[in-house]
Structure 1
Amino acid sequence: MKRVGVIGVGEIGRAIVTGLCEGAGDAPEVFLSPRGARTAAELSGRYESVRVCAGNQEVLDRSDIVIIAVRRDDRHEALAGLTVGDDRVVVNVMAGVGNDDLRRTLATGAPLVRAIPLPAVRERRSVTVTHPAHPVVDDLFARLGGVLPVGDEAAFNVFSALTGTLTAHYSYLATIASWATGHGIAPEAADSYVRGLFQGVGRSLSDRTRSLHQLAADHETPNGSNERVRTTWFTPANAQALGQTLDDLLTRLDGPRDGGARDGGARGLQAEGAALDEDRHADA
Structure 2
Amino acid sequence: MVKRIGIIGVGEIGRAIVDGLCDGVEELPEIFLSPRGARTTAELSQRYPNVRVCADNQDVVDRSEVVIIAVRPQHRSEALAGLQVDSAHVVVNVMAGVGTGELRQTLGTDAPLVRAIPLPAVRKRRSVTVTYPSHPVVDALFDHLGGALPVADEAAFNVFSALTATLTTHYWYLATLTAWASRQGIPSEDADRYIRSLFQGVGRTLGDETRSLHQLAADHETPNGINERIRTTWFDAANSDALGKALDALLSDLK
Alpha-carbon separation, structure 1, partners of 2:130 and 2:9: 20
What is the CA distance between 1:118 and its match in structure 2?
0.1
1:198 and 2:175 aligned: no
- Which secondary structure state, in structure 2, belongs to the residue aligned with residue 193 of structure 1? helix
State the alpha-carbon separation in 1 of the partners of residues 182 and 188 from structure 2.
Answer: 6
Q: Which whole-Å CA distance do the structure 1 matches of 2:3 and 2:95 have between them?
A: 22
Q: Per-residue displacement from partner, 1:177-231 (whole Å, max 9, x unpaired)?
A: 1111111111111111111111111111011111000101111111110111011
Which residue pairs with 1:121 in the alignment?
A: 122
Partners of 2:172 and 2:93 lie apart in 1 by 28
Correspondence 1:232 to 2:214: no
Partner of 2:31: 30
* 1:181 to 2:202 alignment: no
Q: Aligned ranges for residues 70-81 of structure 1 at < 5 Å?
A: 70-81=71-82
Deviation string for 1:60-117 (max 9, x for gaps)? 0000000000111111111000110110000000000011100000000100000000
* Equivalent residue letter for 2:10: V
| One-letter amino acid of the structure 2 residue matched with residue 204 of structure 1 | T
- Cα RMSD (Å): 0.7
Unmatched runs of 5 consecutive residues or more in structure 1: 255-284
Amino acid at match of 1:84: V
Q: 2:50 matched to which residue of 1? A: 49
**In structure 2, what is the Cα distance between the partners aligned to 1:35 and 1:156?**
29
Q: Which amino acid aligns with 2:55?
A: A
Equivalence map 1:97-246=2 (5 Å): 97-246=98-247
1:98 counterpart letter in structure 2: G
Question: Quick one: distance in 2 between partners of 1:35 and 1:253?
Answer: 27
SS of 1:54's equivalent in the other structure is coil
What residue identity is the alignment partner of 1:118? L
**Structure 1 residue 251, shift from structure 2 partner:** 1.0
Any runs of at least 4 consecutive aligned residues in structure 1 with deviations exceeding 6 A, and if so which?
A: none
Cα distance in 1 for residues equivalent to 2:39 and 2:55: 14
Name the counterpart of 1:67: 68
Query: What one-letter code is carried by the residue in structure 2 that aligns with 1:112?
Result: L
**Aligned-partner Cα distance in 1 for 2:84–2:199:** 47
Residues 108-144 of structure 1 show CA distances to partners (whole Å, capped at 9, x for unaligned) of 0100000000000000010100000001101110110
Query: Which residue of 2 is the match for residue 5 of structure 1?
Result: 6
TM-score (norm 1): 0.88
2:254 corresponds to 1:250: no
User: What letter is aligned with 2:112?
Assistant: P
Distance in 1 (CA, whole Å) between partners of 2:33 and 2:88 is: 19
Deviation at 1:2, TM superposition (A): 2.5
What is the CA deviation profile of residues 233-267 of structure 1, one whole-angstrom value per residue up to 9, with x for unaligned ones? 1110010000001111111111xxxxxxxxxxxxx
Distance (whole Å) between structure 1 residues aligned to residue 155 and residue 38 of structure 2: 34
Code of the residue aligned with 1:183 in structure 2: it is Q
Alignment-mate amino acid for residue 116 of structure 1: I
In structure 2, how many angstroms separate the alpha carbons of the residues matched to 1:54 and 1:223?
Answer: 63
| Partner in structure 2 of residue 17 of structure 1 | 18
CA distance in structure 1 between the partners assigned to 2:186 and 2:239 by the alignment = 29
Count matched residues. 254
1:15 is paired with a residue whose SS is helix
Matched residues in 2 for 1:199 and 1:117: separation? 21
Separation in 1 of the partners of 2:42 and 2:247? 37
SS class of match (2:149): strand
Question: Runs of 5+ in structure 2 lacking a partner?
Answer: none
Displacement of 1:10: 0.4
Aligned residue in 2 for 1:85: 86
SS in 2 for 1:148: strand
Q: Percent identity?
A: 72
